[in-house]
Structure 1
Amino acid sequence: METRDPAAEPRLATGALLFGRVLDGEGGARPIGWEAAQGWTPARAGEVLWLHLHRTTPGLRDWLRCKLCLPEPTAELLVSDKTRPRAFREGDALVATLRDLNFNPGAEPEDMISMQLWSDGERVLTLRRDPQQSPNEICALLDRGEGPRDAGAMITQIAELMIDHLSGAVVDINDAIDRLEDNPQALAMEERATQIAEIRRDCLALQRHISPEHEALQQISRDAPEWFEPHDRREIAESIARLRRNLDDINISKESALVLQDELRARAQAVSQDATYKLGVMAGVFLPLTFFTGLLGSNVGGIPGSDHPLGFAGVIAACAVITVVILVIFHSRKWL
């Protein structure tokens, strides 16, 4: 039977570390490398190890199982692409999957990307596949001495930054709707219809991701371990409320886009009806003239005025009289 050296397992994930910090409990942090992180223990009370990892690195799942003694399902969740937001407590650890806006070049922000998270109060692991802004922003805060002081604050600040990004996207959608409402004639109907359709797609995409994220944050608020302090729970509760407001705003934006689309459809229908009406009026004017001139143009003998020098002028005059009579009749019936 094949055997393997358990001590070799942690080295399988070498290269997974994007950056690491040791929080000093006062808002600052010092960098830490991969090798130093393997045997890390707090040098003093209040220190927290934060490792930001690339979850697709080969061997990372085995490292999580061996080094952190995580159960197989949890290790699989942390490195998988099953990215629906969720959160649960596992003993004294918190496991979560959250989603952030996608600010990578060539991507739509509404195509949200996921980040897996694990923490036992002394260590925080964040794992991602595609680059994200939130971890980089927290790292910059820590390097300036203005970052989170403990694991609970780290998790709540990650959630807050994600919601900040989401709020910006919601504001952009609202601004786009306001521009369409304030300047209904500024764009051609085709371009206006395209923008409205894009707004509705963006709203649906955000709504699809926000609802499970809202549930995940609620789960963290309810079931977080004891190291998640009361002020952290209050911060999460505020984040939940903000996310709920964003979800309400998205629903309103979606309804507003639907109203704009109905108005645009009504305008297009009115334009079509107006064009049809004008064609009907023109047909009503020219149909008698066509009949009259067709009758006089028949290739038979005895057409009145055919040999008279003013015959053509008489026909023109008769057509003018017929046209005036028709227009008077249309105007009296308010068809014009």
Structure 2
Amino acid sequence: MIQRQPLTIQKPDFTDDVAGLIYGYFFQSGVAPQPLSAQQACRVWQQKPADEGFLWLHVNLSHAASARWLQNNFSVDELFFDEIQQGSHTTRIERQNEALMAVLNDVIFDPRESSAQNATLWIWCQAGLVVSARFKPVGLIERLKGKLDELALNSSTELLTNLLVEQETVLEQIVRQANLYVDQIEERLLSHHIKSNRSELGRLRRMLLRFQRLLAPEPAALFRLINRPPAWLDREVVQDLRQFTEEFTVVLNDLTGLTERIRLLQEEIASRQLEQSNRTLFTLTVITVLALPVNIIAGFFGMNVGGIPLANNHHGFILLVLLVTLFTCVTGWLALRRRDKM
């Protein structure tokens, strides 16, 4: 008897699973954002007028077909995927042919942890389309997704600008949390509890410098974009980018001031530890000097030779004790006098 094998169900070419689409939205003025599947996104992109609304596609790059799906259906520039393959994680926004390419980063910061988790987001933006791609989940996207209804976005560049603001907020929160943590260490320093503060400050300083390299946008690329924007970019968006640059500069200045404060605290702790070590060494030196007369006299009187003074004197022991005490007091007075002059 021949058994019939069940037919395998073939997936359509562009399901969400195959395309790697995480979120898809269509934005129109005065209308709430409309969620889209992969097939619906392709259909809307083919049918919508050029000046009516825009699409936002957020994809998972772990899916092997996601890049091919974007290139085949939305004509995303191949240079965008080349940048992703190069693995550059530095925050920047620059012009890429007639589109905008941005690299943003999101971090989870805990000043008590030795390492911080970070995730990189690559963005490709043109008139009517925004594509955001990532390998690991990015908190910037999740926070922006929760505010889509209240933002009322009208253009693709507004979405990009809001993502830039979200990253600025991340860096601002890092500076605020680090300031509070440094305040606690400074309080412990003032109360002379400096046992582990220096190592904590060193770890925090290295972490903040890493965040500064990771989250701070490249100024050269940003200024090139502001001075030579694409033709489709509105002047209001260019002005928003200038304002973003100024605000980010303020946050970076705060971060630089915080790292300088940490460096000064490290130097203060190092000087206090050095002073404490010097005092301990001086105390040991004084103890050695005070014991020197006892050792010398004991060495002389311990010699097994004739002619030892006070050997037949009934008060010899008391006289030696008084002599050693006198020498010890004089030596101690000289040592303490020298310490007061230091």
TM range (shorter): 0.7 to 0.9
Measured against aligned partners, the alpha-carbon deviations of 1:22-53 in whole angstroms (never above 9, x if no partner) come to 12323731211122112213657642211111
Amino acid at match of 2:151: E
- Corresponding residue of 2:71: 65
Q: 1:64 to 1:267 in 2, by over 3 A?
A: same
2:57 equivalent to 1:51: yes
8 Å CA contact 1:214–1:243 kept in 2: the answer is: no
2:29 equivalent to 1:18: no
TM-score (norm 1): 0.84
Measured against aligned partners, the alpha-carbon deviations of 1:282-322 in whole angstroms (never above 9, x if no partner) come to 22222122111221122223323445554433332222222
Quote how far apart the aligned CAs of 1:329 are: 4.0
- Corresponding residue of 2:199: 194
Amino acid at match of 2:247: R
Quote how far apart the aligned CAs of 1:71 are: 4.0
2:40 equivalent to 1:39: no
Measured against aligned partners, the alpha-carbon deviations of 1:101-159 in whole angstroms (never above 9, x if no partner) come to 2469x9878554321111222111111111111111121111x4434232111010000
- Corresponding residue of 1:300: 305
8 Å CA contact 1:88–1:223 kept in 2: the answer is: no
Residue aligned with 2:151, SS: coil
8 Å CA contact 1:13–1:58 kept in 2: the answer is: no
- Corresponding residue of 2:276: 271
1:101 to 96, 103, 107: 107
Quote how far apart the aligned CAs of 1:241 are: 1.0
- Corresponding residue of 1:139: 145
2:133 to 123, 127, 136: 127
Q: 1:169 to 1:293 in 2, by over 3 A?
A: same
Structure 1 segment 308-323 matched on structure 2, within 5 A: 308-323=313-328
C-alpha separation in 2, matches of 1:62 and 1:266:
60
8 Å CA contact 1:21–1:50 kept in 2: the answer is: yes
Quote how far apart the aligned CAs of 1:100 are: 2.5
1:116 to 98, 119, 122: 122
Measured against aligned partners, the alpha-carbon deviations of 1:244-297 in whole angstroms (never above 9, x if no partner) come to 112222222222222122222211221122122222222222212211122112
Q: Percent of aligned positions with the same letter in both sequences? A: 20
Structure 1 segment 126-275 matched on structure 2, within 5 A: 126-142=132-148, 144-186=149-191, 188-275=193-280
8 Å CA contact 2:24–2:35 kept in 1: the answer is: yes
Residue aligned with 1:83, SS: coil
Q: 1:20 to 1:80 in 2, by over 3 A?
A: farther
- Corresponding residue of 2:5: none
8 Å CA contact 1:23–1:49 kept in 2: the answer is: yes
Q: 5+ unaligned residues in a row in structure 1: which ranges?
A: 1-7
Matched residues, number: 327
**CA-based RMSD:** 3.1
TM-score (norm 2): 0.83
Q: 1:329 to 1:126 in 2, by over 3 A?
A: closer
Amino acid at match of 1:192: N
Q: 1:217 to 1:26 in 2, by over 3 A?
A: farther
Q: 5+ unaligned residues in a row in structure 2: which ranges?
A: 1-11
Q: 1:95 to 1:38 in 2, by over 3 A?
A: same
Amino acid at match of 1:154: L
C-alpha separation in 2, matches of 1:241 and 1:179:
30
- Corresponding residue of 1:327: 332
8 Å CA contact 1:12–1:58 kept in 2: the answer is: no
- Corresponding residue of 1:5: none
Q: 1:141 to 1:289 in 2, by over 3 A?
A: same
Quote how far apart the aligned CAs of 1:65 are: 2.4
Q: 1:19 to 1:135 in 2, by over 3 A?
A: same
Structure 1 segment 276-295 matched on structure 2, within 5 A: 276-295=281-300
8 Å CA contact 2:59–2:66 kept in 1: the answer is: no
